[in-house]
């Protein structure tokens, strides 16, 4: 357990909880640095295959940057290179992360969720990029990710007004994957993780890397060049690449390891 977060491990799944409910899980540099360390360890651990991030309490996933800390002259040094919650500027993580959004996800909090691969939202979740209302801008990826995820005019409708979008509308727009009753949020997030774990971790890493990096390549033929995605080569050299077809032929569940063949 950290000072600003909690982590729990269940098999191949790491669940990380932002633990500052007294400030709606807003984050200052020390909290971001602590979370960055958690995700560094997650990335380096070969036995952790899926991550889940959520917020403590029932009010907020994260209200983003701790403006009160900043306005009161709090120490703003030590912000990690990997960004809010150690995720918004982390571009080299091929393991999937699920955001379990339990309440308000504003500004940097919304940007944390957008940096994840799947967003599972409580019915009471609210999303917004309200930075212009306080003379700021969503510079931790919100202005870049949201227009890549949903239609431009819908994204600009949120960006230029700072309006709050409920979970149901977020799903209609396309940035929320799943909306669930509040009491079932973590159960549903774990169910998504369980479905991912049914797949080869080497395949999942290769798939995430190819899907993410290909967004930057306009030409379809060029984007399909396997040489640009080293995780695909890792998949071809993995035990899973042999185990998957073998298990299928033998009509049994596969025994995934995600590890390279010896």
Q: Using one digit for the tens of pLDDT, what is the confidence trace for 199-238?
A: 999 999 999 999 999 998 999 999 998 888 999 999 999 9
189-202 pLDDT per residue, tens: 999 999 999 999 99
124-149 burial: b if 16+ Cβ within 10 Å, else e? bbbbbbbbeeeeeebebbbeebbbee
pLDDT of residue 90: 98
pLDDT of residue 224: 93
* Token duo for residue 185: 């949020």
Instruction: Give percent of the chain with pLDDT exceeding 70.
Output: 100
Cα separation, 236 vs 206, whole angstroms: 10
Residue 75: band (very low, low, confident or very high) from pLDDT cuts 50, 70, 90 = confident
Cα separation, 217 vs 199, whole angstroms: 27
pLDDT of residue 157: 98
Cα separation, 52 vs 187, whole angstroms: 11
Q: Which of 6, 131, 239, 243 is catalytic?
A: 131
Burial (CB count <10 Å: 0-12, 13-18, 19+), residue 28: buried
Active site residue 243: no
Q: Where are the domains of the chain?
A: 5-197, 201-249
In the block, tokens 């984050």 appear at 27
pLDDT of residue 11: 98
Q: To the nearest whole number, what is the mean pLDDT of the chain? A: 96
pLDDT of residue 78: 83
List, as one string, the DSSP characters of 58-113. Answer: SSEEE--B-HHHHHTT-------TT-GGGTTT-----S-EEEEE-SEEETHHHHHH
Topology, domain 5-197: 2-enoyl-CoA Hydratase; Chain A, domain 1 (3.90.226)
Q: Which of 111, 222, 239, 243 is catalytic?
A: 111
Torsion-angle region of residue 105: left (phi > 0), alpha (psi -120 to 50) or beta? Answer: beta
pLDDT of residue 69: 78
Residue 112: band (very low, low, confident or very high) from pLDDT cuts 50, 70, 90 = very high
Q: Is 90 exceeded by the pLDDT of residue 72?
A: no
Q: Is 80 exceeded by the pLDDT of residue 70?
A: no
Quick one: average pLDDT of 117-128? 98
Cα separation, 85 vs 53, whole angstroms: 9
Residue 76: band (very low, low, confident or very high) from pLDDT cuts 50, 70, 90 = confident
Active site residue 111: yes
Cβ contact 7:54 at 8 Å: no
Q: Is 80 exceeded by the pLDDT of residue 73?
A: no
Output Rg (C-alpha) for the chain, integer angstroms. Answer: 19
Q: Is 80 exceeded by the pLDDT of residue 159?
A: yes
Cβ contact 158:130 at 8 Å: no
């Amino acid at each position: 357990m950290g000072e600003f977060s909690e982590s729990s491990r269940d098999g191949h799944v790491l669940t990380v909880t932002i633990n500052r409910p007294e400030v709606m899980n807003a984050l200052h540099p020390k909290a971001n640095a602590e979370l960055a360390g958690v995700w560094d360890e997650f990335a380096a651990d070969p036995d952790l295959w899926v991550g889940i991030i959520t917020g403590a309490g029932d009010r907020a996933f994260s209200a983003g940057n701790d403006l009160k800390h900043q306005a009161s002259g709090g120490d703003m040094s030590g912000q990690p290179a990997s960004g809010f919650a150690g995720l918004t500027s982390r571009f080299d993580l091929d393991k999937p992360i699920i955001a379990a959004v339990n309440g308000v996800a504003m500004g940097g909090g919304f940007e944390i969720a957008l940096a994840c691969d799947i967003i599972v939202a409580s019915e009471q979740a609210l999303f917004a990029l309200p930075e212009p209302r306080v003379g700021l801008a969503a510079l931790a990826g919100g202005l870049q990710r949201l227009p890549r995820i949903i239609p431009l005019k819908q994204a600009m409708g949120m960006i230029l007004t700072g309006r709050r979008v409920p979970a149901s509308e977020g799903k209609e727009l396309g940035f929320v994957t799943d909306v669930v009753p509040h009491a079932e949020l973590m159960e549903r997030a774990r169910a998504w993780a369980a479905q991912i774990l049914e797949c080869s971790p080497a395949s999942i890493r290769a798939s995430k890397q190819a899907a993410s990096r290909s967004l930057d390549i306009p030409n379809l033929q060029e984007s399909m060049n396997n040489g640009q995605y080293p995780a695909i080569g890792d998949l071809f050299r993995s035990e899973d690449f042999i185990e998957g077809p073998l298990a299928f032929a033998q009509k049994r569940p596969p025994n995934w390891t995600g590890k390279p063949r010896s």
